A and B are shown apart, each in its own frame.
Chain A
Amino acid sequence: MKVHLKVWRQKDAKSKGSMVNYDLDNVDQHMSFLEMMDTLNEQLTLKGEMPVEFDHDCREGICGTCGMMINGQAHGPVPGLTVCQLHMREFKEGDTIYVEPFRAMAFPLKRDLKIDRSAFDRIIQSGGFITANTGMPAEANNLLIVHETAESAFDSAACIGCGACVATCKNSSAALFTSAKISHLAKLPQGEQEAAKRVLKMVSKMDEEGFGHCSNTEACEVKCPQGISVLNIARMNWEFNKASLLH
């Protein structure tokens, strides 16, 4: 099938960017969206032009590297997917497809669709861990965690750190990402000791990095490829208030 692409091209953070038109007429509906982009890049390369730079790695939806706005939606039109799992069968012959980078002040652009999400690493560095040096821990089954608690902690821990929540949010808030880690660790008995310190530090780091505030539109949950719930944000707020009162 044939598609018309309008792709954001920008040499680096300082240069001015623009949408550039590309027509592709050899698209197979079984291709993934990124394989379609590969096909475009092969054509550009052979013409001696710079291919479109985009982030990607595992191509099975778990590493969190890929991400772009497709027709204005983070990771494209299908809920619960990363771009690498989106297939061309979701598009029709002759469709015009707009492809842009995730945009947020805290995610500076590197080139084309490639962005810098190191702010996420710094949020984790501020407190997204349990202090447990190698060699210290006691026998695992001495700590009982009921099935439902373990499953609920897993639901929060499943975040892949792709940044779609930030890109989707009109305020570029990182509340869903940050709260998922806070909840994952706060739900488990291992994480209790540091819970108060963790939430205060991570929330303040999130603000410091230039992410906006959460105004509860819940758009982030809709576009999260892992279906991370906004209830994590509620949990974060509760943990934050509790910690603020006690400290």
Chain B
Amino acid sequence: MILDAKIPAGPLEHKWSHYKEHAKLVNPANRKKLTVIVVGTGLAGASAAASLAELGYQVHSFCFQDSARRAHSVAAQGGVNAAKNYQNDGDSVYRMFYDTLKGGDFRSREANVYRLAECSLSLIDQAVAQGVPFAREYGGYLSNRSFGGVQVSRTFYARGQTGQQLLLGAYQALMRQAALGKVTLHTRHEMLDLVVVDGKAKGIIARNLDTGVIERFAAASVVIATGGFGKIYYLSTLAMGCNGSAIWRAHKRGALMACPSWTQVHPTCLPQSGDYQSKLTLMSESLRNDGRIWVPKLENETRVPNDIPEEERDYYLERRYPSFGNLAPRDISSRAAKERIDAGFGVGTQKNAVYLDFSKAIKEQGMDKIKEKYGNLFSMYKKITADDAYQSPMKISPAAHFSMGGLWVDYELMTTIPGLFAIGEANFADHGANRLGANSLLQACVDGYFILPYTLANYLAEELKTEKINTDHPEFVKAEGAVISQLNQFVQIKGSRTADSFHKELGKLLYDKCGLSRSAAGLEEAITEIKALREAFYRDLMIPGNAAEINSELEKAGRVADYLEIAELMCHDALSREESCGAHFREEYQTADGEALRNDEDYCYVSAWEWAGKDMAPVLHPEQLVFEFIKLSVRSYS
């Protein structure tokens, strides 16, 4: 299989406009005849479903939550990037493109990244028109702040709840279309299989989580917008229900997975306090605009932070990366924290954290200004820890956060299964080996509002000519049968361990061996251990009740079963890439200073993996990355 990214020819700045000018269209009368399934209602799914419905397609929207408004985009805090250059600080589409490409350690496509930066301009206009209450200057103009890995202020924000406000904008647009009868909402429905007919995606099998009933849905095309699978690490910044099942089941039907091991570990989260813990709460990266990160210089320091004098503090990010300081990119900041914690300088009762200190900012800007900028984050910190971060530094620690990897898609956001599209965090496309802060809300929105409506039409224009498939087609019957038998299998094991206990064990294993740093020996061990854990799962799982009712434990079982397979692919992916780049840090490949050592000669490609069958080694299909417009350089922030 030779992967074709279908990148349009021509100069970088004309590629997307050239594509739009030449893409096929579907006339308004025909759009009504076409049904599109959109799975997921986060920023990508809701914006796509609403935009497609506005165009006249019949849209079916699915989410496992009880309302589309609860998708996990809601929890994104800090902001959304756009190259508006309102601050007159030298920003431009090209600079944003370059920052993003460099931030991703040159492991993404030039054309995709340029398009992301280009479309960022319209997104802010769209969101403002929907009523998103972005922060404003006193005169009424939009305000900006900085995020990691850049030297301009291009981040638009709505206090520390930017994701919530953008999502509500998309959700409200979706609700408007639902009221108009253009979108049919299927809340509390989980996609459990993709139906492929004659090589094309033609529908899904979903479980109604409130009744247990398995349902079939047919469509001219299927869009997966189910977000990332960072919850595979169990302890993560993600919501409890976030999962990788939709993309994994599509993968098993033939869609390739790209770079699944590239997981962003976020540097500013609350540290773990005990075994009962179910998640690690994120503290927005925006805090690093004014917070300074440090650990004591003295090993086994016992004094409280405020008693440790300035000269006995190690501001290690400022020391190692003077030109970016506390705003070094996430992969670098997380690794630097891990280095200090592993070396014995960690703080807190478990010695697993570093300090994030606002005393200097409060002194310089005043308490009121800091409260206005970060008030809700400080109060969230207090709610969880009972500590007052205005008085003494926050304690923070790295946690699994974002999946750069996902379903492989071409320039049109189509997977290797014709008719199956993947948008937002569910795909691998724009972020390379490390995502810059405030680019994830952007990518989700741009994919859904501005790209998919064009590329999907280009596909559907041809699809009009093929015969409509109904849900009584044998492929639907077969897929439904497989889903039902898997659910019954889980219920019948009647072992002695909960789904969560397997998930926790898997998460710990991945943190240790396929997390912030990886080695060949560790990854090989992990593959063996994951296989054993998977066998134990199918032998010893305990699910009470049955499949024909509300059953949260059964929902978890399906997700964990998929995680146990995804984890193995992640380890193969990490093992095969003998270089360090972005979030993928192989211990064997580092500079004398402990920085990532990239190998452009041998690994300047996207690793796309094919499912070869149960217990078979996955098959690698590299997509070479061709850089026509920029020169690869060492990614330095020092």
Query: Could you list which residues of chain A lie within 8 angstroms of chain B, going by C-beta atoms?
Result: 28, 30-32, 34-35, 38-39, 42, 44-46, 48-51, 53, 55-65, 80-81, 85, 87, 89, 110-111, 114, 116-118, 120-121, 124-126, 128-141, 143-147, 149-151, 153-154, 157-158, 160-161, 184-185, 188, 190-191
Query: Could you list which residues of chain B lie within 8 angstroms of chain A, going by C-beta atoms?
Result: 47, 50-51, 54, 65-70, 72, 74-75, 84, 86, 122, 124-131, 133-142, 158-159, 161, 164-165, 168, 171-173, 175-176, 178-179, 185, 187, 210, 239-241, 273-274, 276-279, 281-282, 379-380, 383-384, 386, 449-450, 453, 494, 496, 498, 500-501, 542-545, 550, 552-553
A60-B136 in contact given A35-B277, A129-B172, A130-B130 (Cβ < 8 Å): no
Whether B239 pairs with A46 at a CB distance below 8 angstroms is no
A42 to B275, CA, bound (A): 13
Whether B140 pairs with A57 at a CB distance below 8 angstroms is no
A117 to B380, CA, bound (A): 25
A58 to B42, CA, bound (A): 13
| Residue in contact with A143 in the complex, picked from B128, B135, B279, CB distance below 8 Å | B128
A28 to B276, CA, bound (A): 9
Contacts of B69 in A (CB 8 A): 64, 121, 124, 161
| Residue in contact with A157 in the complex, picked from B165, B386, B553, CB distance below 8 Å | B165
A130-B131 in contact given A63-B74, A141-B86 (Cβ < 8 Å): yes
Within the complex, the shortest CB–CB distance from A7 to chain B, in Å, comes to: 15
A169 to B135, CA, bound (A): 32
Whether B383 pairs with A85 at a CB distance below 8 angstroms is yes
Within the complex, the shortest CB–CB distance from B441 to chain A, in Å, comes to: 14
Contacts of A53 in B (CB 8 A): 550, 552
Report the tally of A-B residue pairs with Cβ distances under 8 A: 217
Contacts of B159 in A (CB 8 A): 154
Whether B172 pairs with A128 at a CB distance below 8 angstroms is yes
A147-B553 in contact given A58-B74, A62-B164 (Cβ < 8 Å): no
Identify the interface centre among B131, B282, B494: most chain A CB within 10 Å of its CB: B131
A118 to B65, CA, bound (A): 11
Within the complex, the shortest CB–CB distance from B46 to chain A, in Å, comes to: 12
CB-CB nearest in chain B for A162: B70
Whether A154 pairs with B240 at a CB distance below 8 angstroms is no
Whether A144 pairs with B139 at a CB distance below 8 angstroms is yes
A45-B282 in contact given A128-B175, A132-B126, A134-B450 (Cβ < 8 Å): no
Contacts of B134 in A (CB 8 A): 150
Whether A46 pairs with B498 at a CB distance below 8 angstroms is yes
Contacts of B126 in A (CB 8 A): 132, 134-135, 137
A-B contact pairs, 5 of them (CB 8 A): A56-B240, A57-B241, A138-B125, A140-B124, A157-B158
Whether B276 pairs with A144 at a CB distance below 8 angstroms is no
Whether B125 pairs with A140 at a CB distance below 8 angstroms is yes
Whether B125 pairs with A57 at a CB distance below 8 angstroms is no
A61-B274 in contact given A50-B545, A114-B550, A147-B136 (Cβ < 8 Å): no
Contacts of B185 in A (CB 8 A): 121
A147 to B141, CA, bound (A): 8
Contacts of B50 in A (CB 8 A): 134
7 A-B pairs besides A145-B136, A190-B128 with CB distance below 8 A are: A46-B498, A56-B240, A85-B384, A116-B66, A135-B449, A147-B137, A153-B133
Contacts of B72 in A (CB 8 A): 57-58, 63
Whether B131 pairs with A184 at a CB distance below 8 angstroms is yes
| Residue in contact with B500 in the complex, picked from A38, A81, A116, A160, CB distance below 8 Å | A38
A137-B128 in contact given A35-B276, A147-B140 (Cβ < 8 Å): yes
